[in-house]
Amino acid sequence: MTTTIGIAGNQIIQSVDVFHGNHVSYTPQNFVTAIQKAGGLPIVLPISDEQAAAAYISKIDKLLLAGGQDISPDFFGEEPHPKLEETNRNRDLFELALINEAIKQNKPIFSVCRGMQLINVALGGTLYQDLSLYPDWTVKHGQQPTQPQFATHGIKIEKDSALYQVFGESYRVNSYHHQAINTLAPSLKITARSSDGIVEAVESIDPNQRLIGVQWHPELRFDVDTKEFNLFDYFVNQL
């Protein structure tokens, strides 16, 4: 039976000049393509009221959280730092509800970049609102203008992790983030770090809570690196 993957969607407002401010619900195409290639059935879950989360989660087998805006810092007990970038509170609220319901209904979660950070917040952790607040920052974690198909920095992966089975002990990743995990949620374990100590991957301490989060963007490299595709294949067919 085909595994149904719910991808939490984002929203963009199109040009006022051309489309009169039309609102569009979307997810990056590469998530859709990677899931389809792995044999899954992707469905985009549009930003909705929190109360709709339970019904959405009940209709899918697994949940994917994509990248995007910064997370509203009041969700982890902070006021906005001057370097905070765009937030979308409606998206935060809906995705937090999706996470809670996925855990409640025992549905596996794969989260990317912002998605990993939001998992940490949902489970009681905090974030650095900007990497300039991290005292040991020495690695470039926003690789622009380098194209996303090129890996730019290394990570070290813990042997006691699902991620190790896919990538081995060390790997090189692309990087597009200015925020990072600060205090780790109590129910999570760190499974990969960059050389300057930034959290690059997390998993649940509880083996029955099937959850993987990565800080990089495998959807932008799965077609040029087999290991990145293997991560999607693991999510769709094993996690």
Tell the residue number behind the tokens 């006021």, with chain if given. Answer: 79
At 68 the pLDDT is 96
Please, what is the end-to-end C-alpha distance for the chain in angstroms? 15
CB neighbours of residue 168 within 10 Å: 11
pLDDT at site 75: 98
pLDDT of residue 103: 97
The pTM (predicted TM-score) of the whole model is 0.95
Mean pLDDT in residue range 98-105 = 98
Calculate mean pLDDT across residues 13-24: 70
Residue 220 per-residue DSSP state: G
The CATH number of residue 210's host domain is 3.40.50.880
Which residues are identified as catalytic?
A: 113, 217, 219
Cα 130 to the center of its chain, rounded Å: 17
Cα angle at 76 between 97 and 162, to 5 degrees?
Answer: 65
Residue 13 has pLDDT above 80, yes or no: no
Weakest-pLDDT range from 21-25, 103-107, 108-112, 227-231: 21-25
pLDDT at 16: 60
Helices 89-104 and 114-122: angle between axes, nearest 10 degrees: 60
In terms of pLDDT, which residue wins out, 115 or 1? 115
| Strand ranges across the sheet with 199-204 | 41-45, 4-8, 62-65, 109-112, 211-214, 199-204, 188-194, 153-157, 170-173
Residue 113 pLDDT? 98
The structural domain count of the chain equals 1
Could you tell me the residue range of the domain that residue 53 belongs to? 4-237
Q: DSSP states of 30-60 as a string?
A: HHHHHHHHTT-EEEEE----GGGHHHHHHT-
Question: pLDDT-derived band of residue 205, with 50, 70 and 90 as boundaries?
Answer: very high
Helix, strand, coil content of the chain in percent (nearest 5): 30, 25, 45
